Amino acid sequence: MPSNANERIAREVMGWELYVQTGGNALNCDFVAVSRHNHMPLPDFEHSLDACAIAEAEIERRGLRQVYTFQLLNILNYGASEEGFWRIIQATPDQRCEAMLRATEAK
């Protein structure tokens, strides 16, 4: 079962609807994300940098890049400095998810 953070990223950042797939699921995944006409297994945003990159593109598309960056620096406990920017590059998927959720709440 997906984590609450993965579900929140899908709903609040990506704008997807989620539903439980029942019976004969060939993908072996209970939750499926729906984006327009696309059905797919729910990405593991919390543990995958690749999945985070998809969500970060949506953050940028929504004009939340600056708020997201500020939130990520706060989570990492660094200011806008060379060290802070290096920490952003090294941020874990979990840290990125938290910053994305904070950015959408702050909008």
What percent of the chain lies above the pLDDT cut of 70? 79
Q: Mind listing the pLDDT tens digit for each residue in 1-50?
A: 446 899 899 999 998 887 766 555 444 455 665 655 567 778 899 999 99
42-62 average pLDDT score? 94
Distance CA 47, CA 49 (A): 7
Distance CA 2, CA 33 (A): 11
pLDDT at 60: 96
pLDDT at 26: 47
Length of the chain: 107
Output the pTM of the full model: 0.80
